[in-house]
Amino acid sequence: MAGGWLPNARRVPSPNWDERPPGMVVDLLVVHCISLPPGDFGGPWVDALFQNRLDPDAHPYFRGIAHLRLSSHLLIRRDGELIQYVDLDKRAWHAGSSSFAGRDKCNDFAIGIELEGTDQVPYEEVQYRILARATREIRIRFPSVRSDHIVGHSDIAAGRKTDPGPAFDWGLFRKLID
């Protein structure tokens, strides 16, 4: 791994990151899901959102989100393509208002991984395989990311977020990483 970039990921650098607080230990991995517009897969819109290039006129849904400044460290598309937006050593802007184990501001100490999908549509088998491989690589770099510190966005932003949702098979994922 060169710096905090996974060697098998396509790099699409996002400007939406900053430095983690000094001395911060990365010990949390957050699984998200995203599709733009909601329920549509395979388009260029997630890259555009994370690069601040989302055209608000391209779809009515985009008018409400084009101004947001968001990112994630990684995205795993439905076909298994792995895309990296932010160096793992940097703070990506994926968790928003969040809390884990009594600590707020999860972006400070978390890695964010998006799966192309929705809460209700089953994820692809290849997405689980790539997610497991990326998780293993991340845990080598950040050994403090224990199994009980791998959670969904809904776990750190309860009541505000629901992803990766009931369609995500935590049992299968945990079997692949343990």
**pTM of the predicted model as reported, rounded to 2 decimal places:** 0.97
147 lies in which domain range? 15-177
> Does 6 reside within a domain?
no
Q: Confirm whether 114 is domain-assigned.
A: yes
pLDDT above 80 (res 2): no
**Residue tagged active-site, from 19, 81, 114, 137:** 114
Tens of pLDDT along 123-151? 999 999 999 999 999 999 999 999 999 99
Q: Does residue 125 have an active-site annotation? A: no
What number is the average pLDDT over the span 97-118? 98
Averaged pLDDT, 152-177: 96
In a domain, 74, yes or no: yes
Residues 17-49 have pLDDT tens digits of 999 999 999 999 999 999 999 999 999 999 999
Q: Is 160 contained in some domain?
A: yes
Residue 12 has pLDDT above 90, yes or no: yes
Whole-angstrom CA distances from 173 to 51, 117, 136, 161 are 29, 15, 12, 20
Domain count, the chain: 1
Distance of alpha carbon 69 from alpha carbon 52, whole angstroms: 7
Residue 170 located in a structural domain: yes
CA dist 94 and 6 (Å) reads: 18
Residue 32 within any structural domain of the chain: yes
Please answer whether residues 114 and 9 qualify as being in contact, where contact means their C-beta atoms are separated by less than 8 angstroms.
Answer: no
